[in-house]
Amino acid sequence: MYGSGRTFAYWPITDDLSALRGLVQSYGRRAGLAGVRLQDLVLAVNEAAANVLDHALGEGHVQAWHDDRFVTVEVRDRLGELVPSHADAGDPGVGTLRGRGLWLMRQLCDEVMITRDTGGSAVRLRQALGDSPMPG
């Protein structure tokens, strides 16, 4: 599905988001991310996994892969209530206590895409390797 030359990781989502953050950070570092770009990806994955715990019965997993250009992390749930248009959510504003997760992910990552199929929904987060975000 992802082609040759890529390295994969898979983690179930549990309520131990600290452990997940550590796994994503280690993976991203080994893939070549560093500094703020790595921390941004870790925070975005944390937000997506927290959404699975809060809104999708806590049932899901995280899959990560990279090649020589990008680190990609997909956070998948089994409920399937997210749809692609949710990726375009705007800033909910200061008067709202919740609902900033998808907006925040878009601020932190070079690319955020949501897909939905019979197996559930997935938030795909991409970060370009190197100091600059991917063009476009």
Question: In the 3-class helix/strand/coil scheme, how is 5-40 assigned residue by residue?
Answer: CCEEEEEECCCCHHHHHHHHHHHHHHHCCCHHHHHH
Is 134 part of a structural domain of the chain? Answer: no
Integer Cα distance of 135 and 61 in angstroms:
29
Integer Cα distance of 24 and 32 in angstroms:
12
Whole-number pLDDT of residue 95: 59
Ramachandran class of 111: left when φ > 0, alpha when ψ lies in -120 to 50, beta otherwise: beta
Nearest to 9 by CA among 45, 55, 51, 35: 45
The pair phi, psi for residue 75, each rounded to 5°, is: -105, 115
User: Domain residues for 57?
Assistant: 7-128
Is 135 part of a structural domain of the chain? Answer: no
- Domains in the chain, number: 1
Burial classification of residue 39, based on how many CB atoms lie within 10 Å of its CB (0-12 exposed, 13-18 middle, 19 or more buried): middle
- Read off the CATH number of the domain in which 22 is found: 3.30.565.10
Residuewise pLDDT in 10s, the chain (136 residues): 344 456 799 999 999 999 999 999 999 999 999 999 999 999 999 999 999 999 888 899 999 999 999 999 999 999 988 777 766 766 665 555 555 788 899 999 999 999 999 989 999 999 999 765 544 4
Q: Please check whether residue 66 is in contact with residue 134, taking contact to mean a CB–CB distance below 8 angstroms.
A: no
Is 71 part of a structural domain of the chain? Answer: yes
